[in-house]
Structure 1
Amino acid sequence: MSDWSRYAHPAPAFADRAIVCIGAGEYRGNDSEVRDRPLRSHAAVVVSEGSGWFRSQLSTDVAIEAPALIWLFPGIRHSYGPDRSGWTEHWVLFGGTVTRDLDALPAWSPATPVVQLGAVPATLAPTFTRLRSDLAEPGSVGALRASATCYSWLVDLAASVKPAGAPDLVAAFARGATRQLSMEARARELGVSLAELRAETLTATGLTPLQLLIESRLARAQSLLVESDLEVGVIGKTVGFDDPAYFSRQFTRRRGSSPSMFRSEQRRVPSETGEAQ
């Protein structure tokens, strides 16, 4: 691996709407470190080999042992670097409105910016090969490609730092979303306390149990609206909403259109030859 760094200058309008990749790079060695640096953007640094150290104005000194993720926040002064034996790091700078959603995940906190990874993500090498190529391409097309690659990488990192039990528990919770049960009963069925259920759903999805319950019900409702001829009120009850008006209000607020409008926009109709379009 050769050391490299590339930077992009995406259009401000794009930065206001999504994730934008500002730069990326790779480093291997023991002769370079960051000292008392604040960033204007977010950054994610993955240490895939070796060991080192990290400190910031919000956290105590932390020893780093690969594989590990260093999650950096705008405006927070920090320092980090490898031990004498050196390390291998891959870093990406990014911004955009989506970072507000990432900041809500408790797995990534300014107070605990170093996260131990169970393994080096399998997508690390191909991701940074693409980023190096994307960021070398001039103009907006290269910047857009780099931002898409960056977003995919952040999703991979989010999956890497989930607690081992969270995905199965959250999947079981979502499967039972249409049933009429209290949240206490749902937690008991899953073998956890309410506090543990809340912590697991927040870590895995960024949503509270109630928010995840509603989103799971609405996702099922969307499928039924497109795939069945059931009346809207019946669909609401089928997915767990006793009050048809409440179902319509929640659907409209969270999906941007009423259930009926969604069905009209998304449903396929038979073609003149009798085949589905």
Structure 2
Amino acid sequence: MTEQDPPQTSAHLGAAAHIRTYPFDPSASLSGVGIQIGPMGPEGPWGVGPARRVHRIDFHVLLFFREGPVRHMIDFTEYEVGAGDILWIRPGQVHGFSTEDTYVGTALTMQPGFLPRAIVEATGLYRYDRPPLLHPAADQLAALDASLEQLRREYLDTVTLPLSLHTAVLRHTLTALMLRVAHVSAQATAEDGTPQQDAAASAFSRFRTAVEHGFTSNHSVSAYADELGYSRRTLVRAVRAATGLTPKAFIDRRVILEAKRMLAHTELPVGRIGVAVGFADSANFSKYFQQHTGATPAAFRAEQV
């Protein structure tokens, strides 16, 4: 059983769709499978070139760089990427290519739902709290390169196996690669790299998914606890263990991020942005935004110009 597709942020926000979203196109994959792999750039598997404006994606992208430095923006942070580094861009994140730098390396795209749920959890596919930029050590990079090359070979081999077995082999090979990437990612956040499968980790995973589905209208910790069948205390322990935040702070951070995205990358009026993230009253939204950012929505927008 594969993981269900995660919530598509642009679809359930309405107003936020003004930030263009590029969907995964299975027809562009060899044999129509749920991954694409190839060189970066217009001729690669992911036809989004550096000249395009900031946008969202509704799939995972991993960029394995062979040259650098390259500057790449992901949700208001500009990352400088060097040779051997990896950029992991997750579904719903707003990002933009540098128009001045050349991207050299391999791009891997992955359709949500392609990997089984257990692997999704083990590899932290939706751990948005982890940094997008990864710096593998030399021995890790060598192992990643070998794993990536094996995946590329399996992806290109469309004749020696029937489609069902070809897809199964790709899932297994991709799992091996993603477990290695996840280990590097876990180290980057000072974790030990061992997937946590205890009740607290499961509770946080369910809470995170529920927030992603509901943050545009539900900002209540109690409501999420009732929906998921947990006590507030259980949610507090689980969210704090995973992120260091309270559940309310986790919700607020998600709401503010979406508001910032729309303020920076659309021309929507402040009032409509407030409605899109759950505030019927524009004044209440402005007060909330200023409380969490130290700036009014109008001032934040002006700073982005």
Write 1 or 2 for the structure with the bigger share of helix.
2
Q: TM-score, normalised by structure 1?
A: 0.38
Write 1 or 2 for the structure with the bigger share of strand.
1
Q: TM-score, normalised by structure 2?
A: 0.34
